[in-house]
Each structure stands twice: as C-alpha cells, then as structure tokens.
C-alpha cells in the first residue's frame, strides 16, 4: 500500500507556532497513545526547542496499557514530563495542572523571590489531527470559553482560554501535521483515522490491520470474529474474505474492510498499540 500525501504549508505552520511560543510558559504536546512516536511531528523538538513541555499520551483507553507505560517512561527518560490521559472521559485531566507546577517549579520560585505574584500558567496545545486536541481543551476549560485579559496573543487574533484559576490556554487553530515518507507510519496513522479514508484503499488497510492483530493480539482477533484455530492460520487476505462472508456482505470486501477498520478504531477488537516499543528501539535517533 502506497500512501502519497505530503501536505504543504509546513514553513508557514512552523513560523506561526514559533511566534506563539513567546506568549506561553510551556507546551502541551498531545500524542495518540496507540502510536506515541508515529503521531508526533518529526520537527517538534526543533520547533519547541528549550520550551518546557508536557507530553500527553491521549486515548489511553484504546491503547495497550503495557506499551503505554513503556512509552511514558521513554519520554521521561528523554527529559520530558509525561502523563497518560483519556480526554474523552476526563481521566488523568486533574493531574495536568499539578504536573505543570512541577515542571515550572524553579521558574515560579524565582519569580516569587523577586516579589512577583504567582500567575496562571500559560500553555499552548499542539497535536496532529485526530489526537483529541479539541476534546482536551474543552475538558480543561469545561466549555466555558472566555478571553482572560490583556495578553499579547489576543492582539494577534488569538484567544486565551481560561481553565480554572491556575491554567490559561492559547487557542491555536492551526495544527502541525507530520510530513511522513515512511509508509509504515502512514499505515498506522491511517488505521487510527488520522488520514482521510479516501486517500487510500480500505482493503489494503484492513489487511494491514488483520496482519498486525494476528501477530500481536491474536486472541482479540480470534474472539471478535469467531475464528477457529484453523482460520487463524489463514492469510490476512483470506481472513478478510472470511469476515466478509461471516458478516453477510457477500463479495462486498470494501464494506467488510470499512467495518473492520471502524471496529479497530472504536476499540471493539481490543486495546492495541501500533508503535511497539521493543521493535522501534533501533529507530530511536533523538
């Protein structure tokens, strides 16, 4: 499967984010817990540079908790604060402000030593499409969106969102998107819904998903589609044909593929992590 989708405007997006960084104390980098590395912009470290960062592994309810724990420790070993959250249900959200205060402890202590009163922490949320950025922001501000005062960002058409007394978020509608040339990353993003379905062949994506689950989560795929031991030995292509028949779709493989993909995305097949920590060790270059 070849996914050819290289969106432009990277330079413009990078410039906008860089300009906005001056207004915030730290950055919330939102990633999909099912693919913590593949859902990161490869230019993120270069863009954010030394600005304090909190990496939020979102959609943890859909991910393999064993893998999520490994990735959380990975980011922490790289010197980043990290939290595992589920913004849809609000799990882990209450940990964000305390973690921010922990990250900015030295800076805030210096400010207090100079006689400055503690101010609300100002943060910017960055994340690729479909990682839950809007849901997280709505959770944090409790949908009570309001400008919070005379801040530099407001004059540039940006909006500060008040999230309680301790946190203010800089609303940034422009979202950076990874320019990926690695087809494996493209498949992972596609399976989780980060890429529009009309940009690829659904049967190819379904076959990729069946192969992945058959390798890493065979019990889940067996239970979900009532596969026998013999059927588990079939190729992913033959399994897709079998699912099509089992669901009464006759020869409509596209319909069966779409159904399978949606069930994977919804967590109906089981919790899964596409970025396998042990398998990606050799790719770590940062």
d(CA 82, CA 163): 19
Report domain extents, the chain: 10-171, 201-283
Domain with residues 10-171, CATH architecture = 3-Layer(aba) Sandwich (3.40)
d(CA 280, CA 188): 13
pLDDT digits (tens, 9 = 90+) for 200-232: 789 999 999 999 999 999 999 999 999 999 999
Q: Which residue has the higher pLDDT, 126 or 269?
A: 269
Least-confidence region, from 14-18, 63-67, 103-107, 241-245: 14-18
Residue 8's pLDDT band (cuts 50, 70, 90) = low
3-state secondary structure of 82: strand
Residue 150's pLDDT band (cuts 50, 70, 90) = very low
As a whole number, mean pLDDT of residues 258-265 equals 97
E-state strands within the chain: 26-32, 53-58, 81-84, 121-126, 159-163, 167-171
Whole-number pLDDT of residue 48 = 84
Q: Which residue has the higher pLDDT, 19 or 13?
A: 19
pLDDT(258) > 50: yes
Residue 10's pLDDT band (cuts 50, 70, 90) = low
10-171 and 201-283: same fold? no
Least-confidence region, from 19-33, 124-138, 227-241: 124-138
Give the Cβ contact number of residue 87 at 10 Å.
25
Q: Which residue has the higher pLDDT, 41 or 80?
A: 80
As a whole number, mean pLDDT of residues 263-268 equals 97
- Rounded to two decimals, the pTM is 0.89
Residues in CB range of 128: below 8 A, 6 or more apart: 39, 40, 41, 175, 176, 177, 178, 194
Whole-number pLDDT of residue 242 = 97
d(CA 207, CA 205): 5
3-state secondary structure of 16: helix
Residue 197's pLDDT band (cuts 50, 70, 90) = confident
- Say if domain 201-283 classifies as CATH 3.30.360.10: no
As a whole number, mean pLDDT of residues 26-37 equals 95
pLDDT digits (tens, 9 = 90+) for 161-170: 888 889 999 8
As a whole number, mean pLDDT of residues 3-20 equals 66
Q: Which residue has the higher pLDDT, 188 or 196?
A: 188
Q: What is the CA radius of gyration of the chain?
A: 21
Question: What is the full DSSP assignment across 139-181?
Answer: HHHTT-----SS-GGGGGT-EEEEETTTEEEEE----------
Q: Which residue has the higher pLDDT, 192 or 173?
A: 192
Residue 50's pLDDT band (cuts 50, 70, 90) = confident
pLDDT(61) > 80: yes
Whole-number pLDDT of residue 158 = 60
Whole-number pLDDT of residue 102 = 95
């Amino acid at each position: 499967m070849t996914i050819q989708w290289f969106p432009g405007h990277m330079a413009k997006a990078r410039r906008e984010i860089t300009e906005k960084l001056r207004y915030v104390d730290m950055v919330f980098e939102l990633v999909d817990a099912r693919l913590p590395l593949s859902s990161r912009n490869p230019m993120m470290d270069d863009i954010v540079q030394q600005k304090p960062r909190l990496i939020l592994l979102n959609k943890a309810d859909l991910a393999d908790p064993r893998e999520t724990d490994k990735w959380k420790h990975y980011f922490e070993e790289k010197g980043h604060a990290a939290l595992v959250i589920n913004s849809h249900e609000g799990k882990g959200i209450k940990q964000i402000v305390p973690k921010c205060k922990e990250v900015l402890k030295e800076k805030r202590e210096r400010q207090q030593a100079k006689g400055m009163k503690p101010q609300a922490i100002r943060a910017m949320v960055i994340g690729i499409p479909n990682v839950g950025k809007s849901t997280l922001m709505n959770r944090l501000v409790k949908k009570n969106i309001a400008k919070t005062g005379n801040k530099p960002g407001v004059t540039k058409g940006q909006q500060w969102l008040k999230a309680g007394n301790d946190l203010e978020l800089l609303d940034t509608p422009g979202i950076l998107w990874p320019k990926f040339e690695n087809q494996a990353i493209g498949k992972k993003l596609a399976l989780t819904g980060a890429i529009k379905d009309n940009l690829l062949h659904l049967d190819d994506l379904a076959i990729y998903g069946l192969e992945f689950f058959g390798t890493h989560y065979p019990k889940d795929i067996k239970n979900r589609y009532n596969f026998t031991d013999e059927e588990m030995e079939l190729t992913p292509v033959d399994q897709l044909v079998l699912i099509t028949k089992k669901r009464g779709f006759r020869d409509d493989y596209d319909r069966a593929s779409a159904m399978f993909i949606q069930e994977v995305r919804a967590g109906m097949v089981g919790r899964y992590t596409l970025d396998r920590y042990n398998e990606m060790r050799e790719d770590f270059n940062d």
